[in-house]
Every structure is written in C-alpha cells, then in structure tokens.
C-alpha cells in the first residue's frame, strides 16, 4: 500500500491518504429515513475525519441520512487533503469512480470538501467536469444552501476562509465510531508558515474554540459511554481562548486540565504538538493526571538546523533535543513520535545523517515518514529549488524507515514483561477471539478475550511478545 511513500505501521489514520477513504455511518444517529442520503469519504489528517462528522451533523439537520452505499446516495462527498501531490492524485482517481456512479444515476450530486476544494477553488469545477459542489473547510454551514443551488442546476461553491469559525456549537454526528474513542477539534487553521506546508493556505488563520464547548463535548461523550478523547489542532500548544465575558485567557495546559477533570475514567490525548511551543507547564499537567496519556506526537521534520531554518520551523536541533530531554525528565514513561521529511530543498547526505541521529536520540516509538513533495504556492515552492533527485529522496526515506523500524522494534521489545492499563477498543483485526486496545503510550496491544470483558473497559495486560508494530499480551488476573 505504501510502496512509494510509506508510513511505518498505519496504526493511526492521520495522513494515510493512500488508504481507501473511510466511509462514515452510525445507525443509532440516523435521522428519519425515507428522505435523501449522503455518502462521505475522508482523506488526510484526523482533523479532516473530525470535520466530516461536523458535515454529517449539518446535513442530518436538513434531513439527509448517511449511507454506506455510494449507489444509494443522492449526494456524494469527498473530504480531501492537499498535503502531498499523491493525496490529490488519490482523490482525482476517486472522482473518476464517482463520475461513473453519476452517469448511472443522473441527478446524483458530487461535492469536493476540504483542503483540495480550498486550494483549487473554481478551477476544480473546470478540471473535474462532473463536480457540482466545492466547499472549503470553513464553509460547511453553507452546505444545505449550496446543495439547493446545485439541485437547481448551478454550481455550488464556497471557499471563504473565516477568522472566527470553529463550529463550536455543532455536535458532531459520530460516524463509523467504535463507541469508545472520539476526536474533539479544539482549534482550526495554522499560523506557523512552515515553508513546505500547504495547510496555512487551505485552512486559514489559527483560531481557538470556546473552552467550555470543548469540555461540554467531552462530558457528553463520556455520558454516552466514550472513554477516550483526542483533542485535535494543527498546533495544540498555541491554543488560546479568551472568555469574552471575563477576559480570562485559557491556554493549552489549562484546557488539558479542564478536560482531564471531566472524569478520571476518561482518557485524554492530543495532537499535534509543535516543538517550539510545547511548554513545561503542559508536561507538568500531564504528570499530574493519570488519565492524560503519556504520549506526545512531536514532529521534528529534520534533524539538521540549516534545513530546519529553511523549513521555517523556528527551532533548531539543540532546541528540539532540549524539549525531548524535558519530556523524558518530567514524564519518564512518555513515548514520543514524529513526522519526518526526507530530501527537502538542498539537503545534503550529511544533513540527512543528522535526521537519522536525532531519531536515535529522541528514541521515537513510531514516525510518519515522507519524501518532500513540492506544493504550489508554498514559501518553499516560491523561494527554494526542489533540487534533491527523486532517487535520493526515496533512498533517504528508505534509510529513515529502516531506522524507525529498528527503533520501534527496540521500543516495543523493552515492554515485554511489563503490565499496562489498556482501554479495550474492540476486536483485533486478526480474530474475534482477541481484543485490541491501546496503552497510555499509544501502543496497540492485542490479547485473548476473557469472559465478561467489553469494549470501553480498562484492563491490565501483561506484554508477552512484541513486533515493531504491535504488542501481544495476556490479561493480568
Ligand atoms: N511534502 C512532504 N511531506 C509533507 N508534510 C507536510 N507537507 C509536506 C510536503 N510538502 C508532512 C509533514 C507534516 C505531515 C502532516 O506531513 O511531516 O508534519
Ligand atoms: Fe491534509 Fe493538511 Fe488539509 Fe489535513 S490540514 S487535510 S493533512 S492538507
């Protein structure tokens, strides 16, 4: 599946754009049937998957029910990603398939949502003749009106980026959910301007969601049986919400604490952290609460200070390593994972070696690894030359993947004999006689079912075996 640009294990859905998009559906949340149906596929980051649940909620309000069968849909939506060229190619392929469905069922509407809609705007309507709707990430409230426009035969387009929209009041329709873990979006957009990245252009300026609406969503999820929430943002450490009534400001550490206090039985995770912004205050908050998971996704991108500067990451190798040391000092049990880009503009072999060495020093439990893909309009595309050959990019990527496999294997082997608290998420992929669940460090553990255990419960599991991707264990009596 990842022959060209592989990630390590595919444990997480994020940036898994080569994967068939997830189809969302959850029976108990269906509105009255008999009306119109929508089908939605999502690609890209967790934020996109979370957005699809907002879209589903908006559509349910106006009488649309979700369907898993594209052939039954009156409205086919594809929530898209622009992060690498490949992500966009995957979406174009899917649009070809939807074209065929449309020719069999005239009147079916096809809509492109998300980052590609934002990046390509009206051009998408010209390039993809059978697309009826183009809706950017801040315009989902307008979907019902845009659908009406398209039904009347006009094209529906809204790619307006907002400075305020956080969809704070919308209760997402939990689609295709395991009923145990859920995402909560806490902020939107990104102000960082990493030179390789399209996100500031597709998702607009950074804005933080009302802290009380976040706590209310977590409380509601817990009441409905959920036992883990992941707080999502492009850069959660810069979360900052000012209460308009009191003027008091809530930062990320404070928000984390508020959500952790919803219930000790509700686990809290978050993603993504930025090395320049993650504070000791956040680390100490994590240390104080057992239910805040000891896992930090801290993308390094490169281990070389010159490349980091060209990437406009605003930290250098030393700064990053200092943050890693702070994490292991304050949270000795914490696992750290990363995103890595190989073959960025002008990267030399020596500089690539710095990436390999920082991976060892940080001892990542896992990484998402990519070769550099130039994105039109980004600072790197405008100011730097994409001059590392594809062959070198891919070879360096293979070095990085090989090393990460070794590190993950070693990291997991070190867990053999240890007992972890695991939140049961459901049956393992392999067998319905086994459960899978994660420990605090976000490692997937598979173990044989024992009578009486159910998804959503915590169980102590002793690890017996480990591969580079999974731990195998038994329930501790
Ligand atoms: N090329 C390759 N990888 C990229 N990423 C973001 N933009 C690019 C690009 N142009 C990677 C980064 C980021 C992750 C979500 O995707 O590693 O952290
Ligand atoms: Fe893809 Fe980035 Fe948009 Fe997420 S924010 S969908 S990763 S381009």
CATH at 457: 2.40.50.110
Question: pTM value?
Answer: 0.92
What is the reported pLDDT for 93?
A: 95
Ligand 1 centroid to 196 CA: how many Å?
7
Q: Is 241 in the pocket of ligand 1 (CB under 6 A)?
A: no
460: containing domain? 419-475
Let me know whether 145 and 193 are in one domain: no
| Domain final residue, candidates 380, 414, 448 | 414
At 137-169, the pLDDT tens digits run 999 999 999 999 999 999 999 999 999 999 999
Q: Is 443 in the pocket of ligand 2 (CB under 6 A)?
A: no
Question: What CATH code is carried by the domain that includes residue 343?
Answer: 3.30.750.200
Let me know whether 53 and 139 are in one domain: yes
At 281-327, the pLDDT tens digits run 999 999 999 999 999 999 999 999 999 999 999 999 999 999 999 99
Q: Give a yes or no: residue 408 inside a domain.
A: yes
Q: Give a yes or no: residue 310 inside a domain.
A: no
Let me know whether 151 and 23 are in one domain: yes
Nearest atom of ligand 2 to the alpha carbon of 87: 1
Q: Give a yes or no: residue 369 inside a domain.
A: yes
Let me know whether 231 and 151 are in one domain: no
Q: Which of 49, 339, 367 to mutate to test the pocket of ligand 1 (most atoms within 8 A of CB)?
A: 339
Q: Is 301 in the pocket of ligand 1 (CB under 6 A)?
A: yes
Q: Is 82 in the pocket of ligand 2 (CB under 6 A)?
A: yes
What is the reported pLDDT for 31?
A: 52
What is the reported pLDDT for 19?
A: 35
Q: Is 203 in the pocket of ligand 2 (CB under 6 A)?
A: yes
Let me know whether 406 and 423 are in one domain: no
Ligand 2 centroid to 115 CA: how many Å?
6
What is the reported pLDDT for 33?
A: 60
Let me know whether 409 and 424 are in one domain: no
Let me know whether 14 and 149 are in one domain: yes
Q: Give a yes or no: residue 452 inside a domain.
A: yes
Instruction: Domain count for the chain, please give it.
Output: 4
Ligand number with the minimum distance to the CA of 298: 1
Q: Give a yes or no: residue 75 inside a domain.
A: yes
| Domain final residue, candidates 365, 384, 414 | 414
Nearest-CA residue for ligand 2 atom 1 is: 81
Q: Give a yes or no: residue 268 inside a domain.
A: yes
Question: What CATH code is carried by the domain that includes residue 219?
Answer: 3.30.750.210
Write out the chain in H/E/C secondary structure: CCCCCCCCCCCCCCCCCCCCCEECCCHHHCCCCCCCEEEEEECCCHHHHHHHHHHHHHHHHCCCEECCCHHHCCEEEEEECCCCHHHHHHHHHHHHHHHHHHHHCCCCEEEEEEHHHHHHCHHHHHHCCCCCEEECCCCHHHHHHHHHHHHCCCCEEECCCCCCCCCCCCCCCCCCCCCCEEEEECEECCCCCCCCCCHHHHHCCCEECCHHHHHHHHHHHHHCCCCEEEEECCCHHHCEEECCCCCCEEEHHHHHHHHHCCCCCCEEEEECCCCCCCCHHHHHHHHHCCCECCEEECCCECCCHHHHHHCCCCCCHHHHHHHHHHHHHHCCCCEEEEEEEECCCCCCHHHHHHHHHHHHHHCCCEEEEEECCCCCCCHHHHHCCCCCCHHHHHHHHHHHHHHHHHHHHHHHHCCCCCEEEEEEEEECCCCCCEEEEECCCCCEEEEECCCCCCCCCEEEEEEEEECCCCEEEEECC
Segments of the chain with pLDDT less than 70: 1-34
Q: Is 133 in the pocket of ligand 1 (CB under 6 A)?
A: no
Q: Give a yes or no: residue 312 inside a domain.
A: no
Let me know whether 36 and 97 are in one domain: yes
Nearest atom of ligand 1 to the alpha carbon of 14: 15
What is the reported pLDDT for 32?
A: 54
Q: Is 90 in the pocket of ligand 2 (CB under 6 A)?
A: no
Q: Is 190 in the pocket of ligand 2 (CB under 6 A)?
A: no
Q: Give a yes or no: residue 309 inside a domain.
A: no
Ligand 2 centroid to 81 CA: how many Å?
5
Let me know whether 249 and 375 are in one domain: no
Q: Is 83 in the pocket of ligand 1 (CB under 6 A)?
A: yes
Let me know whether 289 and 356 are in one domain: no
Let me know whether 150 and 17 are in one domain: yes
Let me know whether 400 and 425 are in one domain: no
Ligand 1 centroid to 246 CA: how many Å?
39
Ligand 2 centroid to 129 CA: how many Å?
24
Nearest atom of ligand 2 to the alpha carbon of 203: 5
Q: Is 84 in the pocket of ligand 1 (CB under 6 A)?
A: yes
| Domain final residue, candidates 158, 188, 211 | 158
């Amino acid at each position: 599946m990842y022959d060209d640009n592989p990630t390590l294990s595919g444990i997480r859905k994020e940036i898994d754009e080569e994967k068939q998009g997830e189809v969302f559906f959850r029976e108990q949340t269906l509105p009255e049937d008999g009306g119109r149906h929508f089908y939605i596929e999502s690609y890209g980051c967790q934020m996109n998957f979370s957005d699809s649940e907002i879209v589903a909620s908006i559509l349910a309000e106006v009488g649309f029910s979700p369907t898993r069968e594209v052939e039954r849909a009156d409205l086919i939506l594809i929530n898209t990603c622009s992060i690498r060229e490949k992500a966009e190619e995957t979406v174009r392929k899917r649009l070809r398939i939807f074209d065929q469905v449309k020719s069999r069922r005239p009147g079916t509407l096809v809509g492109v949502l998300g980052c590609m809609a934002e990046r390509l705007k009206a051009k998408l309507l010209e390039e993809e003749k059978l697309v009826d709707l183009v809706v950017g990430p801040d315009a989902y409230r307008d979907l019902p009106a845009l659908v009406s426009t398209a039904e009347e035969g006009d094209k529906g387009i809204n790619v307006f980026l907002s400075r305020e929209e956080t969809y704070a009041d919308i209760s997402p329709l939990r689609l295709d959910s395991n009923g145990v873990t859920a995402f909560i979006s806490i902020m939107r957009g990104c102000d960082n301007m990493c030179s390789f990245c399209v996100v500031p252009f597709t998702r607009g300026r950074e804005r933080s969601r009302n802290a009380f609406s976040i706590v209310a969503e977590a409380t509601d999820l817990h009441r409905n049986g959920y036992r883990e929430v992941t707080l999502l943002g492009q850069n959660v450490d810069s979360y900052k919400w000012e209460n308009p009534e009191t003027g008091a400001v809530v930062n990320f550490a404070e928000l984390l604490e508020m959500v952790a206090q919803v219930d000790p039985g509700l686990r809290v995770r978050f993603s993504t952290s930025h090395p320049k912004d993650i504070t000791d205050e956040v680390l100490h908050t994590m240390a104080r609460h057992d239910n805040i998971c000891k896992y930090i996704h801290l993308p390094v991108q490169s281990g070389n200070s010159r490349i980091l500067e060209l990437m406009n990451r605003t930290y250098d190798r030393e700064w990053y390593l200092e943050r890693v040391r702070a994490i292991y000092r304050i949270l000795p049990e914490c696992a750290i994972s990363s995103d890595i880009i190989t073959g960025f503009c002008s990267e030399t072999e020596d500089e690539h070696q710095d990436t390999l060495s920082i991976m060892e020093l940080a001892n990542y439990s896992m990484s998402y690894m990519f070769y550099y893909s130039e994105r039109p309009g980004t600072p790197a595309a405008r100011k730097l030359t994409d001059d590392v050959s594809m062959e070198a990019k891919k070879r360096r990527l293979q070095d990085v993947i090989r090393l990460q496999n070794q590190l993950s294997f070693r990291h997991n082997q070190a867990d053999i004999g240890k007992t972890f608290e695991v939140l049961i998420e459901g049956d393992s992929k392999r067998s319905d006689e086994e459960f899978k669940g994660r420990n605090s460090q976000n490692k997937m553990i598979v173990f044989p079912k024992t009578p009486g255990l159910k998804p959503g419960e915590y169980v102590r599991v002793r690890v017996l075996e480990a591969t580079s991707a999974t731990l195998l264990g038994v329930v501790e009596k």
